[in-house]
Amino acid sequence: MKKLRLPIVYSDDDVLVIEKPAGILSIPDRYDPKQPHIRSVISSKYKDTLVVHRLDRDTSGIMVLAQNADSHRHLNELFQNGTVRKVYTAIIHGHLLTPEVTIDLSLKPDGDRRHRTVVDKSAGKGAVTHFASIDRYRDFSQITAVPETGRTHQIRAHLSAIKCPIVCDELYGTGRPLMLSEFKHNYTPSSKREERPLIGRLALHSTSLTFTHPTSGEKMQFNSELPKDFRASINQLSKYGR
């Protein structure tokens, strides 16, 4: 089994900022506790860390964890009152109707047989996400997403609601990986080797996180470069997907 590692971006007595790779859970799985999760990977060095917010298993990027109970309480309050700025990058099917779009649709978690978050104006809770187009291709787009609220699967559910699901989203989209043959004209995979996806997991990355430090009150911002599979996908879409 390949050894998992979580790059440490910043650490002090109060907070720990990490780069979460795709494929690692934020918290233990309730049915299979043996699946790798953040604390199981870093517990040997950071034994007292507490998870403050979650990224979906296949979402990569910046996360902040608390190093003690007081910091955990402070950071939880920041997330709950919406004063943490979170910026995500995504590759989606289709295009936003305008370069910048704000989606204000109430969401209800576990709202259907597939346990998805669904739009529900009567029983849902308020949810607002700001989207902006970075680049447009023929059938895809690269966008940023800035959620004001923190509902379960908020970005995924809002994009699905406007018929622009995230690439390789098994729950809210088709789940199909992004293949070069899908958009490169006359591309034929080698007969000797099966074509590999450019990105074969949810195309969502936590790019930036801004919050105030629990002790010093200092404004802190951490940014994350796009991972290799994202960069490869965008490079090929830029060349052949227009």
The residues annotated with a catalytic role in the active site are 56
Angle at 125 between CA 121 and CA 131, to 5 degrees: 85
> In terms of DSSP bridges, do strands 128-136 and 100-104 run parallel, antiparallel, or are they unpaired?
antiparallel
What 8-state DSSP symbol labels residue 220? Answer: E
The count of other CB atoms within 10 Å of the CB of residue 229 is 21
CA distance 50 to 69: 8
Structure tokens at 44: 């040997």
Q: Choose among 62, 65, 14: nearest CA to 218.
A: 14
Which residue do the tokens 């918290």 mark?
A: 27
233 CB contacts (<8 Å, ≥6 apart)?
91, 167, 178, 198, 199, 203
Return d(Cα 22, Cα 56) in angstroms, integer. 8
What sign does the CA torsion over 230, 233, 234, 235 have?
Answer: positive
